[in-house]
Amino acid sequence: MDINQQKEQFSYAYIYAIASTAGYSFQIAAKPLDFDGIDYPCWK
């Protein structure tokens, strides 16, 4: 796994931890939904 993949996986874990702590559900998209920053849909 190269450094960029490691950074991506760390960001998934970080966002998941923050969303779960706040009581939100979080879904990691199978592939990025776009390149404008909307890649992690979440809902309460």
Q: Which residues contact residue 33 at a Cβ distance below 8 angstroms, ignoring those fewer than 6 apart? A: 39, 41
Rg (the chain; Cα; Å): 11
The rounded Cα 24 to chain-centroid distance in angstroms is 13
Q: How far apart are CA 21 and CA 13, in angstroms?
A: 12
Residue 35 has pLDDT above 60, yes or no: no
Q: Find the largest Cα–Cα distance for the chain.
A: 33
- Give 16-33 pLDDT, tens digit per residue: 888 889 998 777 666 655
pTM (2 d.p.) = 0.61
Percent of the chain with pLDDT over 90: 7
